[in-house]
Homo-oligomer: A and B are copies of this chain.
C-alpha cells in the first residue's frame, strides 16, 4: 500500500457519513490518505501524538472534522506545522453554528482552513489544491475536474431549457 499524504481524522465515528465524502474525492484523484478517529476531548494524548508525528510520517495535509465545541482541528493545528483543514460537522442542537465558530474563529498565529458546515467534499478538494503546489499532474487533474463540473451544469441547463 502506498504511503498516505493526507490524514483524514474526525472526533467521533458518528461523523463518518459526513467525512467520508472527503475520502471519496481523494480516491477519485488517486491520492493516498489515511482515515481514523481522534477525539480531542476523549483521547487528548492520541491527538498530540497524531499531530506531532504526522509530518514525519509523510502526511502533507490534515483534514479534521468535528461538531459542537469542535476543538479537534484547532488543537491539531496548534501542534503541527502542516496545513490543517477544518470541517464543521452539523450539530444536533445548534445547526452547526457552534461547530463553525469553534473551528473558524482561531486566534492569530494558528490558522485552520475552514470549509462549509458538512463541507467535507470541499475539504478533500482543498487538500488536492494544496498538494497541487508540488504535483503538476494533480493541478492539471483539478483543471479537468472544474471543466467536468462546468459541463455537468451546462447539460442540466440544456435539459431545463428544452
Contact = CB atoms under 8 A, between A and B. Distances in A.
A135 to B, nearest CB: 9
Interface string A77-89: 1110111010000
B129 A122 contact: no
Interface residues of A, number: 89
A31 interface: no
Q: Which 9 A-B pairs have the closest CB atoms?
A: A113-B113, A111-B122, A98-B101, A83-B129, A37-B157, A111-B126, A93-B117, A68-B105, A41-B110
Interface of A: 11-13, 16, 21, 34-46, 48, 55, 60-61, 67-69, 71, 74-75, 77-79, 81-83, 85, 90-98, 100-119, 121-123, 125-126, 129-134, 139, 142-143, 146, 149-150, 152-154, 156-157, 159-161
